[in-house]
Structure 1
Amino acid sequence: MSPVDSAQDTDAPDRPAPDRPEDRLSIGAFARRTRLSAKALRLYDRQGLLTPAYVDESTGYRSYLPEQIEQARTVAMLRRLDMPLAEIAALVRLDGERAAEALAGYWARVEERHAGQRTLAGYLRARLSGRSTTLYGNFEVETVEVPGTPVLCETRHLFNEELPPWIDAAVGRLERAAEEVCGGVTGSPFVIYHAEVTEESDGPAEACVPVADLAAARAWVAAQGRGRDLTARTEPAHRLAYVRITKAQVAYPQIVAAFDAVEEWIAREGLAQAGPCREVYFTDWDAAGPEDDVCDVAYPVR
């Protein structure tokens, strides 16, 4: 859109109407006051982040008001946090408290991503240097005896980018069914990987929720009809070797290092894998922070 074209939108609701033309600041003067370039101001206008107070219909010249300086500086500081322009556009339309909450939510996501990247960088440094093939060499692998457990399950073929939302949705569906018709949830949900889930391999993966009433679970599965990839069965008793990881470490591909650690421990102990690998989610995912323990990466062993 040209400056002249943009001048036609003089009725935009977020554009302040100047009371006194003598108060208007040219784009050059406004740029100096806000320490932003004219190019940046034009970009912010196009993105709806900071609309000029006035655009001359004949020349296309932009003018701003002194009270817009604070908003301009806020937008500039948000950009220094690498906040995407679309998120900034939404944030600056909020009132003070809601804007602060939006910023807190954005920064929590940034910290979670950085925590995962920090973990992955450490793992890659160790691999590239040849010092170690696992990030978890100093973590103690533990074992636990797991009794036979009735479970309600959903299986899906999917790639790694589809995995996190599917786990959340599938576990939610299964837990609701367990509470409503299967006597309740009796243990931590877990996900079994019957084959690799990567950018190129689609599993399948199986989400499982322990339930109290296996017969009721089977009846519920039968009532859902065919084609839903739902089952109700008893997970056999087994010994589980596992390592506990944080929420940040769950992200792919750094979680692969945790599986490597358990596999290496099993080989060192002279044990054998007795089933496919799995992840056991034992706490409230949404309430956990990046450094909180949330998951056991595990293999059944014999």
Structure 2
Amino acid sequence: MDNTGLLTIGVFARRSWLSPRALRLYEQQGLLVPAVVDERTGYRWYRPAQLETARLVARLRRLDMPLARIAEVVAANEEDPQRAVTLLDAYWTDEEYRVAARRELVGHLRIRMLGEDGSLDMHSVQVREVPQQTVLTQHRHVRVQDLPAWIDASIARLLKAAAGHGDGMVGPCFIIYHGEVNEESDGPVEICLPVEPDPHRALEAAVRVEPAHREAYTRITKAQVAFPQILSAFDAVRAWTEREEIVASGSPREVYFADFANAAPQDLVCDVALPI
């Protein structure tokens, strides 16, 4: 066995800032496969050229990036560094959203521990008039753990149906909660997509008219949309109506007026509203 020019696992570990244990794990994951493995002793040797990949893996791990995503970045970096950077940016965007969402969760927990009145300090509530709207709609009983996937799939279906109807979607999509949605309760939930009324055109979705109404609402960021911190916004709106002695006339809802997928965690994207 000719190991000329190869590095032992100990030397390679020191130069790559990785432990021999980590190197064996990354070998199992297909991230860093030794150049030579002695079948009798199991001893491993690496090529010096593998140091660059090893150091990239070490740095990505310091970002707490999962091994599956590291493998994707490493593979892309060997063929197209720009795509690898795009994957890195996408991961960091996800991380920033998770951190922002957790920060909002801390705020929500503080409110819950200090009492309901604290929610009014965190959210400014306003009132507006909402005109009558024709909407494509979809209902379902769904628990909170399944809600995001169902919302994404349902909006995609409604957008497809709206695409062949006049100008398509003509107003913000909104989600109505006709009942409690949490780990135990399943709504039901209704997704509504505003379109121009056209009695002569058949649509591949249920259609109804959402009556004109007034509503109290508070505007929240993308990070605040995550469950359960979004409950602080619902609590704030309901607490405001109770304080003002205003009676709710419909079910609470989320109104998405911005591009949620491409928004930053601190961007305003949604109104939590209650018809009054």
Q: What TM bracket, shorter-length normalisation?
A: over 0.9
The Cα offsets for residues 87-123 of structure 1, whole Å up to 9 and x where unpaired, read as 1112111132111111110010000011000011122
SS of alignment partner, residue 4 of structure 2: helix
The Cα offsets for residues 19-67 of structure 1, whole Å up to 9 and x where unpaired, read as x722111111111222321111101100111111111122211101112
What TM-score comes out, normalization by structure 1 length?
0.85
Q: Give the superposition deviation at 1:163.
A: 1.4
Alignment correspondent of 2:42:
60
The Cα offsets for residues 99-153 of structure 1, whole Å up to 9 and x where unpaired, read as 111111001000001100001112212432x265544524321111112211110
- Determine if contact 2:252/2:273 at 8 Å carries over to the other structure: yes
Alignment correspondent of 1:191:
175
- Looking at structure 1, the residues matched to 200 and 234 of structure 2 have their Cα atoms a distance apart, in angstroms, of 34
- Determine if contact 1:157/1:202 at 8 Å carries over to the other structure: yes
Alignment correspondent of 2:69:
87
- Determine if contact 2:108/2:232 at 8 Å carries over to the other structure: yes
Matched, 1:206 2:190: yes
- Looking at structure 1, the residues matched to 207 and 45 of structure 2 have their Cα atoms a distance apart, in angstroms, of 67
> Given the superposition, is the C-alpha separation of residues 117 and 135 from structure 1 closer, same or farther in structure 2, using an over 3 Å criterion?
farther
Q: Give the superposition deviation at 1:286.
A: 2.0
- Determine if contact 1:181/1:216 at 8 Å carries over to the other structure: no
Alignment correspondent of 2:203:
220
Q: 2:100 aligns with which of 104, 115, 127?
A: 115
Q: 1:289 aligns with which of 252, 257, 264?
A: 264
Q: Which has the higher contact order (CA 8 A, sep 6+)?
A: 2
Which deviates more from structure 2 when the two are superposed, residues 255-264 or residues 159-168? Answer: 159-168
- Determine if contact 1:28/1:38 at 8 Å carries over to the other structure: yes
Alignment correspondent of 1:237:
212
Q: 2:90 aligns with which of 102, 105, 126?
A: 105
Q: Which residue type is aligned with residue 221 of structure 2?
A: T
What TM-score comes out, normalization by structure 2 length?
0.93
Q: 2:148 aligns with which of 164, 168, 172?
A: 164
Q: Which residue type is aligned with residue 93 of structure 2?
A: A
- Determine if contact 2:222/2:267 at 8 Å carries over to the other structure: yes
Q: Which residue type is aligned with residue 294 of structure 1?
A: V
Q: Give the superposition deviation at 1:281.
A: 0.7
- Determine if contact 2:36/2:44 at 8 Å carries over to the other structure: yes
- Determine if contact 1:191/1:208 at 8 Å carries over to the other structure: yes
Q: 1:149 aligns with which of 117, 133, 153?
A: 133
> Given the superposition, is the C-alpha separation of residues 212 and 164 from structure 1 closer, same or farther in structure 2, using an over 3 Å criterion?
same
Q: Which residue type is aligned with residue 34 of structure 2?
A: P
What RMSD in Å do the two structures reach over aligned CA positions? 1.9
Alignment correspondent of 1:39:
21
- Looking at structure 1, the residues matched to 152 and 70 of structure 2 have their Cα atoms a distance apart, in angstroms, of 28
Identity across aligned pairs (percent)? 52
Alignment correspondent of 1:12:
none
- Looking at structure 1, the residues matched to 22 and 47 of structure 2 have their Cα atoms a distance apart, in angstroms, of 17
Q: Give the superposition deviation at 1:84.
A: 0.6
The Cα offsets for residues 247-276 of structure 1, whole Å up to 9 and x where unpaired, read as 111111111110000011001111011110
Q: Which runs of 5+ in 2 are unaligned?
A: none
Q: Which residue type is aligned with residue 106 of structure 1?
A: Y
